[in-house]
Chain A
Amino acid sequence: MTDALEIQRVEYAYSRDVALRGVSLGVDAGEIVAVTGPSGCGKSTLVHCAAGILRPQAGTVTLAGRNLAELTEAERTRVRRTQVGIVLQFGQLVPDLSLKDNVALPLLLEGHHAAAARRAALGWLERVGVAEDSEALPSELSGGQNQRAAVARALVTGPAVVFADEPTGSLDSRAGEQMMELLVASARDGGAALVIVTHDNLIAAYADREVRLRDGVVQHEVRLS
């Protein structure tokens, strides 16, 4: 299999705190990896470096065959837009736009024709089960419905890797389970690798492999399936 994501000896420090101390991690295409660990261990920082949101101070991140360190900001943005999908804890949908327009945004930013982008968005909203609410605003729907739309937004561009940072953190256990089943099925359906950040063992159990971080280093890796 081809590596969807290759992280080698990545280091990152905020002004005072060192978050990552030489973390390495490889993710194959279609693989599901759970990054676990206690709060403050560097999980989200690792994902932000892997997704090209933060620039690591040392080490390399290769995403879909592109070394992010060698890219300009515009090129990194384009890689992020086309090769990365991201699902965050609270959905982070634009509150003033309908679900359909929220899902269409990455395609519109990429320059797709509006009608085509909205058709694709509607298709993904159908797949995640909220098509009937496509014209609703995020504030008119539940957290679970918003998260479903966030999954659609993450996958609408056909990314190589989907990062989910505590995707069920704002949901109850039943909605969380449904969310994970949807996320895993959608990622597999789209052929994307899935990296889930979680501190919940039940969520980590959906992964093929668990990578546990502690104090900015990989404590251990376990193959789950």
Chain B
Amino acid sequence: MKNLISLYYLKENEEGTVVDIYDENDITVMLLNMGIKKGDSIKVLQNSFNGQLIVMVKDTKLAIGQGISDKIIVEKKES
């Protein structure tokens, strides 16, 4: 069964694959610029549960705010 949730809910050290980005164009373009796109694997390094995340995408460490983390839909990887 596929486990689709927004990145917001991933806990520390959990991983997911980007399935969709839920928005008008802006966030998608911003994320593409920073190297995040559909099919990429995202690992959450820190989640303080107010939507602020530190994530790892390939070799880039990114800090993401609430407005964005809740719009990235991922398929959670079972560890």
Report if A and B associate in a common complex: no
| Interface residue ranges, A against B (CB under 8 Å) | none
B interface list, Cβ under 8 A from A? none
